[in-house]
Amino acid sequence: MFENRKSEEFLNRIRAEMAAMDDDIPEPDWTEFRASVRDKLLSHSMQRTSEVRRWKLAWALSLMAFVGVSTGVIWNLKPGNKGSDPVLQNSVPQILEVSEWPQTGLFDDLVQLGDNEEAQLRQMLEAEQ
């Protein structure tokens, strides 16, 4: 029992010291703490909005560049444009006006074919099949 009394006194002394230490700790200023948290949150949100603005600007510039390049390519592909590629101009099929169509019929042209022309036509038709 003697030891129990010693340990009890020792524990009481430690509790008293800890209670004294609790009184030494000042109460935090909660308004200052809330203000600092609010300031940090606002600074993060401002950084996010400026980052979003930069992304919007980058997307807008990319879109404008894409539209500009596409327009330039399409502009240069027009068949009447002097600066366009002559290979592309030759690959565009010639469309004849109705007045320029030949007046003879297809069957008249076939009847007038010579033997060599008839053989060539037959070879072309068979090759297509």
Average per-residue pLDDT for the chain: 77
Residue 129 confidence class, pLDDT cut points 50, 70, 90: low
Average pLDDT on 67-76 reads: 88
Share of the chain above pLDDT 90, in %: 8
Does the pLDDT of residue 49 top 80, yes or no?
A: no
3-state secondary structure 7-71: HHHHHHHHHHHHHHHHHHCCCCCHHHHHHHHHHHHHHHHHHHHHHHHHHHHHHHHHHHHHHHHHH
* pLDDT attached to residue 30: 87
The number of helices, as runs of H, and strands, as runs of E, in the chain is 5, 0
Cα 67 from Cα 73, distance rounded (Å): 10
For the stretch 77-118, pLDDT in tens is: 866 555 555 555 555 556 656 566 666 676 777 777 788 888
Residue 76 confidence class, pLDDT cut points 50, 70, 90: confident
Does the pLDDT of residue 69 top 70, yes or no?
A: yes
